[in-house]
């Protein structure tokens, strides 16, 4: 067995592209602590940083055949880390922004509204609708709205045109709007403000 510890990043990546798990393990050990620290510097949460680190390396393994030959692996890994961390922060910001908005509505309302219950009901309803979407629409929606990928990035990943991505996204959003319907005033506000 080769001593992969002595390999450069480029040599390790060639081995990883050849599906060599030993080389991947060496690369993981080389960068995992740095990726964790970088994630933690943005997220300030040990648990989220740990999950982020795992996701980054899972992403690298799943996309190993797409990494360009002359790409800097270090740069690639830290770019994924940064983008993923920012997506997590955006998602949390949307959630807290929405909860704060609901609290402000509650202050003007005579009847008290349980903000957390309303929010949970809405997110559960939205999850159900998304799960019921046709496979390709669901995939495109999740890649764009949850992972934060741009249409051209999704097109590249799924090997279909940007125009097709736009069509899938448009249909998915139309279905979500229709199925949320008059679910509640909160749902309509959520949709217009945050989705």
Task: Report the C-alpha gap between 16 and 27 in whole angstroms.
Answer: 9
- Summarize the confidence of residues 74-100 as an average pLDDT: 80
Half-sphere exposure of 62 (CA within 13 A, CB side): 8
Look at residue 118 and tell me whether its pLDDT is greater than 80.
no
This prediction's pTM: 0.51
Structure-token pair, residue 128: 């159900």
- Structural domains of the chain in order of their starting residue, each with its CATH number: 1-92 (1.10.1740.10), 114-195 (1.10.10.10)
What confidence score (pLDDT) does residue 112 get?
Answer: 47
Q: What is the DSSP letter of 66?
A: G
- Within 10 Å of residue 110's Cβ, how many Cβ atoms? 4
Look at residue 163 and tell me whether its pLDDT is greater than 70.
yes
Give the tens place of pLDDT for each residue, 16-27.
999 999 989 999
- Residue 190 CA, distance from chain mean position: 20
Among 110, 178, 174, which Cα is nearest to 137's? 174
* Residue 72 phi, psi (nearest 5): -80, 120
Task: Report the C-alpha gap between 12 and 25 in whole angstroms.
Answer: 10
């Amino acid at each position: 067995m080769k001593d992969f510890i002595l390999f450069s990043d480029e040599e390790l990546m060639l081995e990883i592209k050849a599906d060599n798990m030993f080389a991947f393990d060496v690369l993981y050990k080389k960068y995992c602590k740095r990726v964790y620290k970088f994630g933690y510097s943005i997220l300030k949460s040990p648990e989220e940083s740990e999950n982020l680190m795992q996701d980054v390396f899972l992403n690298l393994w799943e996309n190993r055949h797409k990494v360009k030959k002359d790409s800097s692996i270090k740069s690639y890994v830290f770019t994924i880390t940064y983008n993923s961390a920012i997506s997590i922060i955006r998602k949390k910001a949307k959630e807290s922004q929405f909860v704060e908005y609901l609290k402000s509505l509650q202050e003007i309302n005579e009847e008290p509204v349980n903000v957390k219950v309303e929010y949970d009901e809405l997110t559960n309803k939205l999850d159900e609708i998304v799960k019921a979407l046709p496979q390709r629409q669901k995939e495109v929606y999740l890649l764009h709205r949850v992972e934060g990928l741009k249409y051209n990035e999704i097109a590249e990943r799924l090997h279909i045109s940007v125009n097709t991505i736009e069509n899938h996204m448009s249909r998915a959003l139309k279905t979500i709007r229709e199925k949320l319907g008059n679910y509640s005033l909160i749902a309509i506000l959520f949709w217009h403000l945050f989705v």
